[in-house]
Chains A and B, each alone.
Chain A
């Protein structure tokens, strides 16, 4: 019934839900009425939303549910694969159930996907494994994109569900921009007549608009999202005259967004994260960090005098980058890219 709702209608929805609580107050004083938002979210009246049917998978599995033998070798670097599994599983599970495949109102290229099992992980792994070892590329006459084993990314997924596999001649999926190819890692979207359903490599480097509200809105609009970001180490030198702050990139990571906690000011809320690295559900905030020179002056008879400067240097030549900070950690991790998927 709720279906696609815009961001502006969200508050109205919440108010309606609060009204619902008031009606129930006589019988259950503190009852909260969960409600659906878009296709993916189940929310409570206090503004806490979670993505429905999203598995929480650790990239190296667990004792009781270890990774399959053919991919266990890659578990240390399989955060992208695992996060992708989580979000595609959620997107697939939350498709609009009333739309019929045969009528052409549902994304046809997802028809053949099996439902998830074994915590949503097993179904997709055999296909990923061939890409992990790089065999996908030569098998398809393509050059391998790097010397690394090719991780299974959203970009690969777009090609997995390529338009040539569609049984519907009129429902071919198109790629945007037209030049995006399997070796162009960033910024590629796939869409068909039902709209965009993949969007990978949303570049956030130097994008100052990324914040909690940005991600909240994406989720409200029925996109299931995952983030790519970099682990950082911070090196600080301070002499009392200058403070040099240097962020060094030491690794990359990907996690899936699994909801959020709304606040009056959206940026004081938190993003809920399914972290494939440790298999935990965690909360995080998003902000912007700048490569800056901050100066402090003192007024002297000769005019303002520079008394202290703090120089912050970011990696990768960035002048500003969003960052993701888990609430239970001091370490700041800079966010780099947002991938998201939507299914109809």
Chain B
């Protein structure tokens, strides 16, 4: 039902917008692009400017998206596809606050809504009827229009203390995903991804503890087994790196650096697989380069522990 309602509203908005645009178009110079609802929702500043009015209007945590006058004639914020109604955790609020401090506000809000929206995707879909792809695409349109400053923002975001914690690892990974979509920023994106891989080495995943092995139920074992999203994000950073590397040889060199830096055997094996999936012709070169670096990987990942088999 909500989807149908959204379609009707969208059609109505399009019809109204179209008639306005048509009216403007008669006998006049080509109009500037009409601001979309989402661009209005994210409005805080014009490119190159900070939105001080927007900053002042927010509450202490920077979450209240009450209608705010946009800069330089942009319309007031009316909606952010339901994002402003989400109940963010204190840590997520801190991420939002630190991102907005980086600015530009309009870009920072778009980034924040993408990376934090993922933690509330079910609520967002329920609220706005949009798929997450649609939700993100609206914000990416704004970010793609200003790729250089967006990339600078993403670079800064990867240094934020609030985004260094494992429990927001997927938000951190999504920053790289945003970078990978920016036009003509492949080289810089690959540098960010490689920095992520080489400057954030993860230790080997420890073997299950005796308490985990003795768990009497799946629920108890799950409670004793911490999620490790940061390992998945490192694999993703490598995927972004391979996709955005200028050529296969560069991808090979960076992959070797990443494997040397990372200590977890399963992650190392995964990076090998990802590179060879994209560039299978590099198999022998990769083996030689790793051997030169003193890294010898097993042909197959580690086997399951005997204890898990016993159950």
Report A's interface with B, CB cutoff 8 A: 76-77, 79-80, 145-151, 153, 185-186, 201, 203, 205-206, 228, 230-231, 233, 235, 237-242, 244, 246, 248-254, 291, 293, 295, 300, 302, 305-309, 311, 313, 316-319, 336-337
B235 x A313 contact (CB < 8 A): yes
B266 x A316 contact (CB < 8 A): yes
Add 19 more A-B contacts to A233-B222, A239-B171, A250-B218 (CB < 8 A): A76-B217, A146-B306, A148-B214, A151-B311, A185-B309, A186-B306, A201-B309, A203-B303, A228-B309, A230-B308, A238-B132, A239-B117, A239-B170, A246-B227, A248-B222, A253-B311, A293-B235, A293-B277, A300-B183
Knowing A237-B170, A237-B229, A291-B270 touch, does A318 contact B301 (C-beta < 8 A)? yes
B134 x A317 contact (CB < 8 A): no
Instruction: Give the A-B contact count at a CB cut-off of 8 A.
Output: 180
A-B pairs, 8 with minimum CB distance? A317-B266, A240-B136, A239-B118, A317-B301, A240-B132, A185-B306, A241-B177, A251-B218
Q: How far is the CB of B20 from chain A (nearest CB, A)?
A: 29
**Residue in B213, B267, B303 whose Cβ sees the most chain A Cβ within 10 Å:** B303
Residue of A nearest to B221 (CB): A250
A306 x B181 contact (CB < 8 A): yes
Q: How many residues does chain B have at the interface if contact means C-beta atoms less than 8 Å apart? A: 67
Any A CB within 8 A of the CB of B184: yes
B118 x A305 contact (CB < 8 A): no
Any A CB within 8 A of the CB of B300: yes
**Interface of B, helix, strand, loop or mixed by DSSP:** helix
A206 contact set on B, CB distance < 8 A = 300-301
Query: How far is B222's CA from A235's CA once the two chains are assembled, in angstroms?
Result: 12
Report B's interface with A, CB cutoff 8 A: 114-115, 117-119, 121, 131-137, 140, 170-171, 173-174, 177-178, 180-181, 183-184, 205, 210, 213-219, 221-222, 225, 227, 229, 231-233, 235-236, 239-240, 243-244, 264-267, 269-270, 273-274, 277, 300-304, 306-311
A237 x B301 contact (CB < 8 A): no
Knowing A206-B301, A295-B243, A319-B270 touch, does A79 contact B131 (C-beta < 8 A)? no
Q: How far is the CB of A87 from chain B (nearest CB, A)?
A: 16
Query: How far is B181's CA from A302's CA once the two chains are assembled, in angstroms?
Result: 11
Knowing A146-B213, A242-B174 touch, does A186 contact B227 (C-beta < 8 A)? no
B239 contact set on A, CB distance < 8 A = 293, 295, 309, 311
Q: How far is the CB of A300 from chain B (nearest CB, A)?
A: 7
Query: How far is B232's CA from A248's CA once the two chains are assembled, in angstroms?
Result: 12
B118 contact set on A, CB distance < 8 A = 237-240, 242
Knowing A231-B218, A250-B222, A305-B183 touch, does A319 contact B309 (C-beta < 8 A)? no
B174 x A239 contact (CB < 8 A): yes
A306 contact set on B, CB distance < 8 A = 177, 180-181, 240, 243-244
Q: How far is the CB of A301 from chain B (nearest CB, A)?
A: 8
B311 contact set on A, CB distance < 8 A = 77, 79-80, 151, 251-254
A337 x B177 contact (CB < 8 A): no
